[in-house]
Structure 1
Amino acid sequence: MLALERIAEHRKLPKTIQVDNGPEFTSKALDQWAYANQVVLDFSRPEKPTDNAFIESFNGSVRAECLNENWFLSLKDAKEKIES
């Protein structure tokens, strides 16, 4: 949860975070962090990408235009390629 904690140092936490049912969003650690910070996790319905069409479209574009086209050798390399 370090990333969320760093964000919280500079921004007000949202009341709700909309997430899908991927394993990165269904962890006990995220659930505990959200509970401790009074943030509601709003899960989209399984197999319903239209519940969050904007981010599904964004993820598809990033995959097609960047992730499928590049091989990342390090985090620095990934940042440089994604930014370009």
Structure 2
Amino acid sequence: MDFMSDSSRNQRRFRTFNVIDDFNCEALGIDIAISLPTGRITRYQNKLTRYHGYQLEI
């Protein structure tokens, strides 16, 4: 998981929340918004978990 920040051509700033599986080098999801409060991040993580499932313990 990582956060990034950038701006568009008209200087409008936005942030991204990136979730990447390092083992498979697969991007599991990217959420883009002007503001990323904690509640939104938690809901997005729950959404990804419902779609991809939990990682199995070995």
Structure with more strand by fraction: 2
TM norm structure 1? 0.26
Q: Could you say which structure has the higher helix fraction? A: 1
TM-score by length of 2: 0.31
- Bigger radius of gyration, 1 or 2? 1
